[in-house]
């Protein structure tokens, strides 16, 4: 018999990091399968088949890259179990789900390579990356192959684009049932069916995989801001519903912003992080040309995370409540500001003031 002093017989609570990523993994696979079925129903068989090929190719590329990198590092042992493949597969699935169904395969392969190698492995692999790898890949594809992706979507207007047009006079009708079931052609494979995403979000919240603080702050501030902007534009609650159910909003809340590695670590900063992302998303949606601004918003949030982590020194109930109050004020002010800007109510005033001054 020998005595060891390696680790105390500490009884931990039952949650495990690996179990969490596995639950996320299964949810993602479930969402992927349902989305592929939906593509077949809404789009065409051809598109559904293309989407299936995309998913498979993306997963294979991600797995091979990780394996080759591990071979180079002489660290292949973790791939003896399925455990090692969970994270690359998750990233690959998210990339495939965030691109349109008719994306050329070479664009997808490039996006996956960018996501796995420069955005993840270069930073030190799982647990160390700064930007959400999947989003870096998607952004790369969106910016570099804009034309290929636009032709892939075709002339179909996504609900958000229609919403944008209604702000400038055109009328469109939205069917709530269609939005909930995803019965329309969207900008991406996996982000259309709101019902499916809500179910997975609730499941992930119950199993404590995603952080409730981030997700709920994000959704609440999105709702509040779009409600205010909608009120300024005379739409009232419909504007909010469309904003929450479409775009990548629910997909981002479920799989992207709550990724614990790229989000801050203390209660206060988590609230601020979610609010910043919500604010940026709404700003890009209302003011910018790129309607799906959430990708930029999340990457900006990721970028601010190390800095936010450095600013906090301690955490207490009082500072937590203060942060919530401050966040609420910011959200309301931003909503009012964006609402005024969207109605062109600020520019004329400003020009008037400038004229008077000069």
Partner 1 sequence: MLTEYKKLLSPNKVHLPLTDSFYKIATAVVKAGEKVLRGQIIAYKENDLVKTPIFSTVSGTVVEFKQMRDRYNKIVDHIIIENDKQNEDVEYKTFDGEVPTSVVISQLTKHGVNILDVDGIYTSLKLDSSINKVFVNIINVNEPFISTDYSYLLEYAKEVADGIKLLGQGKKEVHVILDKYMPAEPKEALIENLGDFDYKLILVNSSKVSGYDYSEIKKIVKEKITNDLHDNGVIYITAETCKVVSDVLRKGHAPFERHILVTGDGVKDNAEFEVTVGTPLYYVVEDLGGYQDIENMNVHVGDYLTGVQLSDDTFSITETVDAVDLSEFHEEPEEICIKCGECNDVCPAGILPQNIMDAELRELNLRIVDLHTDECIECGLCSYVCPSKINVLEWVRRAKRRTN
Give the residues lining the site for partner 1 (CB under 8 A).
1-13, 15-20, 126-128, 211, 260-261, 263-267, 270, 309-310, 312-316
Q: In terms of CB distance, is 5 or 358 closer to partner 1?
A: 5
Phi, psi of 273 (to 5 degrees): -55, -50
| Least distance CB 234 / partner 1 (angstroms) | 41
- Burial call 124-152: b when 16+ CB within 10 Å, e when fewer: ebbeebbbbbbbbbbbbbbeebeeebeeb
Distance CA 180, CA 176 (A): 6
Distance CA 297, CA 191 (A): 17
Q: In terms of CB distance, is 57 or 312 closer to partner 1?
A: 312
Q: In terms of CB distance, is 142 or 266 closer to partner 1?
A: 266
Phi, psi of 268 (to 5 degrees): -65, -45
CB-based burial label for 2 (10 Å; 0-12, 13-18, 19+): exposed
- Entry field: residues in the chain: 358
Distance CA 33, CA 52 (A): 9
| Least distance CB 58 / partner 1 (angstroms) | 23
Q: In terms of CB distance, is 8 or 177 closer to partner 1?
A: 8
| Least distance CB 108 / partner 1 (angstroms) | 27
| Least distance CB 348 / partner 1 (angstroms) | 46
Q: In terms of CB distance, is 195 or 205 closer to partner 1?
A: 205
Q: In terms of CB distance, is 113 or 261 closer to partner 1?
A: 261
Q: In terms of CB distance, is 16 or 172 closer to partner 1?
A: 16
| Least distance CB 87 / partner 1 (angstroms) | 10
Q: Are 286 and 342 in contact (CB under 8 A)?
A: yes
| Least distance CB 208 / partner 1 (angstroms) | 9
Q: Are 94 and 115 in contact (CB under 8 A)?
A: no
Q: In terms of CB distance, is 17 or 150 closer to partner 1?
A: 17
| Least distance CB 313 / partner 1 (angstroms) | 6
Long-range CB contacts (< 8 A, 24+ apart) of 316-325? Answer: 319/268, 320/267, 320/268, 320/271, 323/267, 323/268, 323/271, 323/272, 324/271
| Least distance CB 309 / partner 1 (angstroms) | 6
Q: Which two tokens stand for residue 213?
A: 């603080």
């Amino acid at each position: 018999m020998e005595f060891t002093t390696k680790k105390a017989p500490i009884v931990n609570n039952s949650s495990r990091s690996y179990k969490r990523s596995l639950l996320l993994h299964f949810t993602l696979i479930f969402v992927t399968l349902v989305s592929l079925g939906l593509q077949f129903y809404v789009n065409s068989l051809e598109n559904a088949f293309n989407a299936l090929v995309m998913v498979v190719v993306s997963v294979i590329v991600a797995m091979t890259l990780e394996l080759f990198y591990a071979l180079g590092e002489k660290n292949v042992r973790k791939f003896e179990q399925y455990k090692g493949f969970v994270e690359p597969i998750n990233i690959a699935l998210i990339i495939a789900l965030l691109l349109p169904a008719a994306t050329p395969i070479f664009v997808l392969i490039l996006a996956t390579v960018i996501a796995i190698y420069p955005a993840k492995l270069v930073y030190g692999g799982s647990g160390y990356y700064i930007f959400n790898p999947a989003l870096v890949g998607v952004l790369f594809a969106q910016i570099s192959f804009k034309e290929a992706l636009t032709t892939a979507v075709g002339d179909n207007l996504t609900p958000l684009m229609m919403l944008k047009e209604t702000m400038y006079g055109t009328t469109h009708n939205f069917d709530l049932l269609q939005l909930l079931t995803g019965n329309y052609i969207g900008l991406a494979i996996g982000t259309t069916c709101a019902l499916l995403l809500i179910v997975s979000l609730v499941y992930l919240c119950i199993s404590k995989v995603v952080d409730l603080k981030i997700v709920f702050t994000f959704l609440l501030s999105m709702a509040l801001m779009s409600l205010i902007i909608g009120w300024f534009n005379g739409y009232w609650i419909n504007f909010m519903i469309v904003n929450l159910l479409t775009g990548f909003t629910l997909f981002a809340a479920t799989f992207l912003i709550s990724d614990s590695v790229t989000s801050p670590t203390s209660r206060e900063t988590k609230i601020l992080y979610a609010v910043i992302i919500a604010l940026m998303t709404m700003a890009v949606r209302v003011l910018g040309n790129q309607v799906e601004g959430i990708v930029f918003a999340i990457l900006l949030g990721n970028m601010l995370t190390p800095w936010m982590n450095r600013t906090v020194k301690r955490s207490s109930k009082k500072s937590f409540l203060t942060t919530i109050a401050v966040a609420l004020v910011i959200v309301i002010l931003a909503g009012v500001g964006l609402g005024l800007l969207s109605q062109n109510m600020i520019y004329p005033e400003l020009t008037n003031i400038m004229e008077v001054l000069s």
